[in-house]
Structure 1
Amino acid sequence: MGASEGPDVAAMRAYADELRETFTRLQDEGLELHAKARAVQVTETSRDGLVSVTVGPRGDLIRLDLDPRIYRRPDARALADTIAETAHRAAAAAQERVMEIFEPVIPPDQFKAHLEGDVEAVMARLIDDMGGDR
């Protein structure tokens, strides 16, 4: 660090170096990680075992299986709620799996904030990492 550089400049340089290193790792590993993430499929079964939902990496529905025993209790609202709850659990598990895949290059909390569109959390993290105040 030069004589004219203060701690803020040193922190900014360290952060820039960290970003450069992360970017390089993303370039090196990105295609493989992306392929792994795109291949994610998660299947969850309802608590009563009558509904099975398979989703892709973004929580998109791939398959829905209903056990014929659902007709023994014809309650459309309960069935819809069971399907929705099971699909939500599957989507959350898929999101966790994708975050695990990218964990070597992107911290999970940062990745989750991006996935959830939490701009405030992303910006707060960026400001914090840069050692700045806002």
Structure 2
Amino acid sequence: MILDTSFLIDLFDGQRHAFEKGQQLSDEGAVQRVPSPVVTELSYGAAFGDEDERRAVRNALRMYPVVEQTDRIAQRAGRLLARADMDADGRSGIDKVDPMVAAVADRYDEPVLTANVADFEALGVAVETY
């Protein structure tokens, strides 16, 4: 399972549905991967918080394997975004991080766990929500 930023933020914030989904994945023994661009987004957000928030993010990220962006994944991300933009006449509105997350999902043939369903569906990858 590829963990998107929205899921991890909801999990860190104690949202019940996110916690229950995380528990379910753990009970099933599912591998939960965090793409490195998600680490960037979480670190950016935590930089605006206090030291407790930054520590919480660092500690939480130690629980998951981080998938580094390779040139192959980056190229796939570019193709996924280009296709989504072409399908939307150049106006998909998808940011530059979501395609990188989607490319990791594509590489591992795993769904993205997110609250941001529409963008990932537009990118053509499987999606789960909570």
By relative contact order (CA 8 Å, sep 6+), the higher-ranking structure is 2
TM-score bucket (shorter structure): under 0.3
